Amino acid sequence: MLSRTAENLFWIARYMERAETTARLLEVGAHNALLPNTGGGFRNEWESILRASGTAGAFAAKYGDPVQRNVESHMFFDTDNPSSIASCIRAARENARIVRTALTSQVWDALNMTYQELKELSRTERSKLQLRDLTDWTVRAAALVRGAIAASQLRNDGYRFLFLGYALERADATARLLDVKYYVLLPAVSYVGSGLDNYQWTTLLRALSSDRAFNWAYGGDVTATKIAEFLILNAQCPRSLITCTGSALEQLNALAVEYGRTTPAVTLAEDLHGELKRARIEEVFDEGLHEFLSRFIDSTASLAGAIHQSYLTGRQQ
Amino acid sequence: MSKTPRYFNEMFENGKLRPPYKGLEGWARDMPVDLRTMKQNEAEALFRRIGITFAVYGEGGDPDRLIPFDMFPRVFTDTEWRKLERGVTQRARALNAFLTDVYGRGEIIRAGRVPANLVYCNEAFERAVVGIRPPRDVYSHIVGIDIVRTGPDEFYVLEDNCRTPSGVSYMLENREIMMRMFPHLFQENRIAPVDSYPRQLKRTLASVAPPKCEGEPVIVILTPGSMNSAYYEHSFLADMMGMELVEGQDLFVDGDFVWMKTTEGPQKVDVIYRRIDDAFLDPLCFRPDSMLGVPGLMNVYRSGGVTLASAPGAGVADDKAIYTFVPEMVRFYLGEEPLLQNVPTWQCAKADDCAYVLEHLAELVVKEVHGSGGYGMLVGPKSSAGQIEAFRSKIEENPANYIAQPTLALSACPTFVEEGLAPRHVDLRPYCLVGQDVVLVPGGLTRVALTEGSLVVNSSQGGGVKDTWVLAD
């Protein structure tokens, strides 16, 4: 497969996953806006949402105060914001248009129709659009694309690069979300375990649409340790770091078999996944959650770099 | 100003239904308006869903614009088609013989049949390939010949396209969509299939593999990129033929060969079906600022390491000034009489012709010698006095840049319009493949001028397309 094609596939998945992450963040914001300010009224939840999306600075420069309507514009419609849902879907569809030949018509249909519907939404009067409908639509569109890929793509290298994209983007999103929630909102250790803490952690679960799943997996009280373990080390959680690294490793191993050669990317993924498999949550807290997450984010970036070096330059290794 | 002369109606001759359209008359007549609207919307939705779009340069508009599709097909009988087929393949052979000749000994020029300056001073004449003989002596592997009809038995060639004629994806997709929407038409009429085109094209390209290629040749399509107006077609053909669609950045030259960058490392490429212009192919040989090409490509080409289709330099044969001499080529190289006629053409480069053209601007169609896509042309009978005068000064400034032809009475085919069915002018572009064999699939691209009375069918000027049927015997 052409290296450029592989790269485009990788990014189609990353953009669609990013659109979904943005939608879930918006959903949490909307949910919290409906609640009385149980957090003690000390911080605007929309601001933490913007922080988690990594675009708080750009937002402040363009819109000023974080009021819901502007956050909606910024995170859903605004094509100046590269991680807005509109930007992600546009970019995913453009990448798909370039590599049409590597996609089944079902996947192309899903991406192209999503894009056409997005254009329709952008033309619709804003007063007719509920935020909840927009986020539902995005999550549904992302599921449609992912489902079309899973159902119709050949299990060849193209498929591997798509799911590598999903795995890395999701790992990155979960790690960043955890980091923002922990580091920004809870700088003082004394908050951990307090009522305020619980509320913030529940929000986090909701942002990863894992609140129900968490209850099934653990039951009982919501504690920071349980949540961190669930989102980092529990292989049942579809968005946990270990699930993502496992999925990346699986794809890379399959590529190694199909291409008949192993690469530095495979080794790196083995190391990363191996570390999570051996880790216990107490050790993570001992290292410091923020420190651990920063290291993890760097490692996934290195892995992405190694994948690029190993497969996407087209040169002999 | 003269009026558009009477034209040939493809469906009704002197008020009587012509036989090839027998299967369509009742279908069109009995189709309720709401069904028609529904089908038209369905067709548009299908095109949009598949993503068949055509960006128009210079409009700054929607890059995802659709070419309007008219559901009423254009029909040829088997007999009509066989005649066209003989004429088109004959012309394609002659054009390739001409190219081999002018980049070789130039016999036709020595014989005084074609003026030397028209060839050697031509912008499209490529000095860099003089003396190179491409595999099987084929320069133009896909020859698109634009044909208009003026009577039951009168066909004229409007122009030849020897470089990279586009539009073949419409021929295939228009058929796909018609079959999907009106399957019964295809049960009731015996319509020759066109879906073998991609296979035939692949076979053609494989048959011109370079001398250094051993085993199955690796064939790729080289595109300028996703911003190109015909990108859809490039990716469509790559998909249909199961070959990689590459950009210049995906290829590199190492040693005697061209390689593409793949996830498994470099892979050798033998045949490149390129959809970029000569000037952009190799920055070391042609335009040094080209980012679209592959540095060193021409060296590999020269030494027989790769085949380029079409071969660099093929453009000199489809130049509008050379066009006049194609019938002469048929006689000179093939020893046959041309089966398809040229439209009489005045060369403004010649003083006598130019004087005639300037006197008769209101009746003529004037085109730029190197123009394409219906840009920069004047349709005298359809233009205002002001437009004509403006064009006159352009011709006087640089006469050699223009040719003129009489305004032909293009045939008209029934077309769905607001009020129902009405005749609209059409042309035809069949795609002739030249490799080991010279083949023509039974069909082509029918373009239709959707505005009443208009003679400009180019999609860049608001023309539409139709499915083109050849009825089996």
Nearest CA in chain B to A111: B49
| Closest by Cβ to A101, choosing from B226, B238, B247 | B238
Per the model's pLDDT, the better-predicted residue between B285 and B178 turns out to be B178
3 state DSSP class of A122? helix
- Name the residue of chain A whose CA is nearest to B223's CA: A98
Instruction: Read off the pLDDT band of A182 (50, 70, 90).
Output: low
Q: Is B331 on the interface with A (CB under 8 A)?
A: no
pLDDT score for B289: 84
pLDDT beyond 60 at A43: no
Residue B227, chain A, CB below 8 Å: the answer is no
B250 and A2 within 8 Å at the Cβ level: the answer is yes
Render pLDDT for B194-209 as a digit per residue (tens, 0 to 9): 999 999 999 999 999 9
User: How far from B131 is each of B22, B137, B411, B424, CA to CA, in Å?
Assistant: 53, 11, 43, 47
The CA distance from A300 to A244, in Å, is 10
Q: Of the ranges A41-45, A88-92, A278-282, which one carries the lowest mean pLDDT score?
A: A41-45
The strand pair at B142-151 and B431-434 is best described as antiparallel
How close, in Å, is residue B450 to chain A by CA atoms? 26
Q: What is the pLDDT of residue A195?
A: 54
Taking 70 as the threshold, does the pLDDT of residue A122 lie above it? yes
Report the phi/psi class of residue B137: left, alpha or beta, with left for phi > 0 and alpha for psi in -120 to 50.
left
Please answer yes or no on whether A2 and B49 come within 8 Å at the CB atom: no
Give the rounded percent of residues in chain B with a pLDDT score beyond 90: 67
What integer is the mean pLDDT of B36-49?
87
B264 — contact with chain A (CB < 8 Å)? yes
Burial of residue B270 (CB within 10 Å: 0-12, 13-18, 19+) is: buried
- Give the three-state DSSP class for A155: coil
Cβ contact A109–B49 (<8 Å):
yes
Mean pLDDT on A48-63: 87
Q: What is the pLDDT of residues B98-115, one digit of tens each?
A: 999 999 999 999 999 999
pLDDT in tens, A221-268: 777 778 888 999 999 999 999 999 999 999 999 999 999 999 999 999
Beta bridge partners of B271: B219, B307
The 3-state secondary structure of A185-226, one letter per residue: HCCCHHHCCCHHHHHHHHHHHHHCCCHHHHHHHCCCCCCHHH
- Greater pLDDT, B269 or A128: B269
> Taking Cα atoms as reference points, which of B128, B161, B135 lies closest to residue B308?
B135
Rounded CA-CA distance B110/B271 in Å is: 33
The better pLDDT of the pair A50, B179 is held by: B179
The per-residue pLDDT of chain B, averaged, comes to 90
* Domain edges within chain B: 1-194+315-343+410-473, 211-305, 344-407
Q: Are B243 and B221 a contacting pair, CB within 8 Å?
A: yes
- Are A1 and B51 an interchain contact pair (Cβ–Cβ within 8 Å)? no
Cα three-residue angle A201-A206-A207, rounded to 5 degrees: 95
- Distance in angstroms (rounded) separating the CA atoms of residues B206 and B208: 5
Is it the case that residue B460 has pLDDT exceeding 80? Answer: no
A292 three-state secondary structure:
helix
Task: Band the pLDDT of A212: cuts 50, 70, 90.
Answer: confident
- Cβ separation of B260 and A2 shorter than 8 Å? yes
**pLDDT band, residue A196 (cuts 50/70/90):** low
Other beta carbons within 10 Å of B137? 16
Q: What is the pLDDT of residue A41?
A: 46
Interface residue A292 vs chain B (CB under 8 A):
no
Domain B211-305 in CATH 3.40.430.10? The answer is no
What mean pLDDT comes out for the span A186-200?
Answer: 53
**Does B180 contact chain A (CB < 8 Å)?**
no
Which residues of B fall within a CB distance of 8 Å from A92?
A: none
Three-state DSSP class for A2? Answer: strand
Q: Is B48 on the interface with A (CB under 8 A)?
A: yes
- Partner-chain residue, chosen from A2, A98, A161, that has the shortest CB–CB distance to B262: A2
Query: Which residues make beta-bridge pairs with B9?
Result: B412
CB contact under 8 Å between A109 and B246, yes or no, is: no
* pLDDT exceeds cutoff 90 at B411: yes
Residue B427 confidence (pLDDT) above 50: yes
Average pLDDT, chain A: 87
Residue A185: per-residue pLDDT:
37
Q: A272: distance to nearest CA of chain B, Å?
A: 23
Lowest pLDDT segment from B119-123, B417-421, B448-452:
B417-421
Residue at A164: amino acid letter: L
ipTM: 0.80
pLDDT, residue A37, reads: 56
- Mean pLDDT computed over A278-284: 92
CB contact under 8 A, B265 and A317: yes
Please report how many Cα atoms fall inside a 13 Å half-sphere around the Cα of residue A258, on the Cβ side: 17
Q: Is the pLDDT of residue B3 over 80?
A: no
For position B250, what pLDDT does the model report?
Answer: 95
Q: What is the rounded average pLDDT of the residues B274-296?
A: 89
- C-beta atoms of B263 and A315 within 8 A: no
B428-455 mean pLDDT? 94
Mean pLDDT computed over A103-116: 92
pLDDT at residue B55 above 60?
no
The pLDDT assigned to A45 comes to 72
Q: Which of A25-39, B65-79, B301-315, B381-395 has the highest mean pLDDT?
A: B301-315
CA of A316: which chain B residue's CA is closest?
Answer: B265
The two beta strands, B402-406 and B364-368, are antiparallel
Nearest to A112 among B49, B226, B265 (CB): B49
Distance between CA atoms of residues B18 and A277, nearest Å: 78
CB-CB under 8 Å, B238 with A3: no
Q: A108–B239: do the CB atoms touch at under 8 Å? A: no
Sheet containing strand B251-254, strands side by side: B251-254, B257-262, B265-269
Do the strands B69-76 and B464-470 form a parallel or antiparallel pair, or are they unpaired? parallel
Mean pLDDT over A86-106 rounds to 92
Per-residue pLDDT, B1: 37
Does CATH place domain B344-407 in 3.30.420.130?
no
Q: Helices A264-278 and A241-259, interaxial angle, to 10°?
A: 150
- B420-429 and B445-448 as β-strands: parallel, antiparallel, unpaired? antiparallel
Q: What secondary structure, in 3-state letters, does chain B show?
A: CCCCCCCCECCEECCEECHHHHHHHHHHHHCCHHHHHHHHHHHHHHHHHHCCCCCCCCCCCCCCCCCCEEEEEEEECHHHHHHHHHHHHHHHHHHHHHHHHHCCCCHHHHCCCCCHHHHHCCCCCCHHHCCCCCHHHCCCCEEEEEEEEEECCEEEEEEEECCCCCCHHHHHHHHHHHHHHCHHHHHHCCECCCCCHHHHHHHHHHCCCCCCCCCCCCEEEECCCCCCCCHHHHHHHHHHHCCEEECHHHEEEECCEEEEEECCEEEEECEEEECCCHHHHCCCCCCCCCCCCCCCHHHHHHCCCCEEECCCCHHHHCCHHHHCCHHHHHHHHHCCCCCCEECCCEECCCHHHHHHHHHCCCCEEEEECCCCCCCCCEEHHHCCHHHHHHHHHHHHHCHHHEEEEECCCCCEEEEEECCEEEEEEEEEECEEEECCCEEECCCCEEEECCCCCCCCCCHHHCCEEEEEEEECC
β-bridge mates for residue B149, sequence order: B155
Contact B209, B135 (CB under 8 A): yes
CA distance A103 to chain B (A): 10
Question: Residue B252 pLDDT more than 50?
Answer: yes
Q: Which pLDDT score is estimated for A202?
A: 73
Higher pLDDT, B333 or B394: B333
- Mean pLDDT (whole number) for B145-168: 93
The rounded percent of chain B whose pLDDT value lies above 70 is: 94
Report residue A23's pLDDT band, with 50, 70 and 90 as the boundaries: very high
Q: How far, CA to CA in Å, does B320 sit from each of B230, B346, B423?
A: 23, 11, 29
Residues of A in contact with B245 (CB under 8 A): 2, 101
- Angle ∠(A65,A66,A71) on CA atoms, nearest 5: 135
Of the pLDDT bands very low, low, confident and very high (cuts 50, 70, 90), residue B64 is low
Separation of alpha carbons A76 and B423, rounded Å: 48
> Which pLDDT does position A275 carry in this prediction?
96
pLDDT confidence of B373, banded at 50, 70, 90? Answer: low
**C-alpha distance from B295 to closest chain A C-alpha (Å):** 17
